[in-house]
Chain A
Amino acid sequence: MEYVLALLLLALLVAAVLSVPLRRRGDEEYREETRLAELRAAKEAKYREIRDAELDHQMGKLSTGDWRSVDRDLRAEAIDILRELDRLEGRTPEGGMDR
């Protein structure tokens, strides 16, 4: 009896928790938020790479020529990410809102 009662009660409780999102439809804003979060993570990772390369150069592991080449590529990739971030955030490169 204890088992059946617990089973029913727990099943009802779980069903209630699971059904809440089904009564609220997802929206477009959510999609943008998730993409923004991904881009922000990618931006931080790219910045870290640029700093790593700079540190390697300072420590003599990368020649100045190699570092400039690597740094140029990485900064170009970072700018692509920033551009995409701005597009989603509705900002201009100067930082103003364009919508």
Chain B
Amino acid sequence: MAGVGSACLVVALLTAVYAVGASLYGARSGRREWVTSGRRAIYCIAALSLIAFGLLEAAFLRSDFSYALVAEGSSTDTPTFYKVTALWATQDGSLLLWATLLSLFATAVLFLTRRSLRDIAPYATAVLGCVAGFFLLLMVGWENPFDTLAMPPADGAGLNPLLRHPAMMIHPPMLYTGYVGFSIPFAFAVGALVARRTGADWIRATRRFALIAWIFLGTGIMLGALWSYTELGWGGYWAWDPVENASLMPWLVGTAFLHSIMVQEKRGMLKVWNVSLICATFTLALLGTFLVRSGILDSIHAFGASTIGVQFLTFIGLVIVLSAGLIISRLPWLRSEARLDSLLSREAFFLLNNLVLVGLCLVILWGTFFPLISEALTGTEASVGPPWFNRLVTPLALVLVLLTGIGPVLAWRRFTPAALWRVLSVPVAAAAVALVLLLAFTDAADSPPSLAMFCLVAFVLTVVGQELWRGTAARRTMTSESWPRALARLTGRNRRRYGGYLVHAGIAVLFLGVAGSSAFLDQRDVRISPGESFEVNGYRVTYREATAKLGGDSAGTGAPISFGAVLDVRKDGKRFVMRPSRNYYSSGDPALGTISRFFEGEATSEVDVRWGLTRDLWLAVRPDIGSLDKPIREADAKFADSPGDVQALIVAALAERYRRDPPPAAFRAIASPLVMWIWIGGAIVVLGALVAAWPSPEARLRRVRSLYSARLGRELSRA
């Protein structure tokens, strides 16, 4: 079936070329039938990409090692769960995932806008055809996922052990869906510029897609952080790693875009800014994809060196140059329809929030590419570490959270200082109370930035609570509904507004976790034998015994050998058991001995976390298997040509030897306060964004029959 898969990609590429040509011809000549045909071409690309994707997934599931990609990224002993995900762990597979997701998104938006935006949609179709065509060209020309091997191996190399984690099953598709999703508003922005239709029509048509992309990208980032926390064995969730940064940058600029388009929708302002933001977001999304795959920057997340770096950079360069040229050429059509009435207005604060978000992105961009910049300028590669990022990002994050609180209380157009004080007095009082309590009862003063963040979180949460309360009260005045009903109707009828407020609350909660866990964690690194103990943050941890398992590791990753430890933990009279371990995967290196290859492959930490609302206790173990070196070497010499079952017996005997007489093992224990709130905050953000993205009931309003003014009054009173 590899031939069918390759044929799908070639035909899809030709169809993408047709989509671009037919759409442009239809738009220029006014012949709608060509526009419709071009749109159908995008539908066809989606169908062909899905067929190709399905064929490749089937090959992975049946371990068909005649496919080079399957041999490279899977193996017979890879659990089925991870065979499915192995497709996007490879470069070729991730390109196919990109093309498939893009064509599906494009199909959805072009179907929904088939009867609207008739001037803009054909150009947007052409842009989407170009982007899909680029990814298809990469596969057809350089990285064909359907390449086959003349001599298929008996078994594959297997999925990178680090990727055998549930979060990794959905993290890459989430990120890619986010990246791909931003190509939709980008395509329509370009379409609007080409067609000189620079009103808010393109924004209204694609806003929901941008929000969905933002949700997926944000969820992907959170899942990546969770994977880092529970899989990488260093105990943190964010390391300012280039690939982490690459996913955060488009999210930040996308956040700015989602705020500033509201100003264009309401006031007809910030048109240049909005098209620039979405072009930047899409460019950063491409950059993110490139960084994950290129290996151009050292990263714990970069899983392969790219052979398509030049093509990618050329495409990114073209996107930047053409977008900038188009925006400059359309400046006369991008003039604001209104002026800023007051600096004390929601639109002014949105602009400020945009500047902070873009500033954050620029700081991260500079820090991420500093190694390349320094190498280009000085010849030596220097990098900036987490302290550099923390020093610059922390003040900007504090300002951002402050704006998160102020933005919702402001009205559009103008606001008086007296009214501002009226709506902010309670949140300011809440922040002051939080400050007093924190100073009196905690050691939060040890970290002034964290102390400030805690107070701002109190401020933001009070603002959101107050907005809900005041809105519900106002609705009750108008309708005499009960409190619960008024609250439900209020949020239901204003989903965009109150979904947004929920997102703000989620961001505040997330930063509560970040501030607590980054400033007040307690870490111990020890090396102890069974029976010995150590303390961390009041927890007394005792190494009870070593463990050794063959197959069936606790995390279900398919690791052949797993060494670990059983630890008794006591605190304040409570006792519980924790079981961190380390998985060892076989090496495919033929130079290694028959037995040593079982121990010399990759190894991954399977940490054990005791989750808690106030603090997590995180434990990782690094067993010292050096004590087994001598018997392993002896076994290599003695059983060089032994059959598989004998090898298994010997490995089992060695594992049992470790379990019975373990040498001291290295442990890392981290008591990290409030980490749980990062995940809870992330979940609230996603929930709020889903509320905001959900279609409003008012979209279902139908025709009315009365005089214009009476008609307006009646329709509005239906709220």
Contact = CB atoms under 8 A, between A and B. Distances in A.
Contacts of B701: 44, 47
Contacts of A94: 705-707
Nearest to B719: A51
Nearest to B416: A63
A60 B711 CA distance: 27
A1 to B, nearest CB: 8
B276 interface: no
Interface in A1-40: 1-7, 10-11, 14, 17-22, 24-26, 30-31, 33-35, 37-38
A14 B15 contact: yes
A20 B43 CA distance: 14
A38 B113 CA distance: 10
Interface stretch (B4-12, B212-220, B454-462, B651-659): B4-12
Q: How large is the interface on B (under 10, 10 to 19, 20 to 34, 35 or more residues)?
A: 35 or more
A82 B415 CA distance: 30
A83 B412 CA distance: 26
Interface residues of A, number: 58
Given A18-B40, A60-B470, A61-B423, A41 B416 contact: no
B41 A18 contact: yes
A21 B116 contact: no
What is the interface of chain B mostly: helix, strand, loop, or mixed?
Answer: helix
A56 B696 CA distance: 19
A88 interface: no
Interface string B375-414: 0000000000000000000000000000000000111111
Interface stretch (B57-65, B230-238, B471-479): B471-479
B698 interface: yes
Contacts of B266: 49
Nearest to A39: B116
A17 B40 contact: yes
B423 A60 contact: yes
A50 B73 CA distance: 56
Contacts of B4: 2-3, 6
B419 A60 contact: yes
A48 B698 contact: yes
Contact of B36 (A1, A21, A41, A42): A21
Contacts of B416: 63
B698 A44 contact: yes
Given A5-B3, A37-B115, A48-B698, 11 more contacts: A3-B4, A14-B11, A14-B44, A22-B33, A47-B701, A52-B494, A56-B411, A61-B411, A61-B415, A82-B712, A93-B707
Interface of B: 1, 3-4, 6-8, 10-11, 14-15, 18, 22, 31-37, 40-41, 43-44, 48, 115-118, 200-201, 204-205, 265-266, 409-416, 419, 422-423, 467, 470-471, 474-475, 477-478, 493-494, 496-497, 696, 698-699, 701, 703-709, 711-712, 715-716, 719
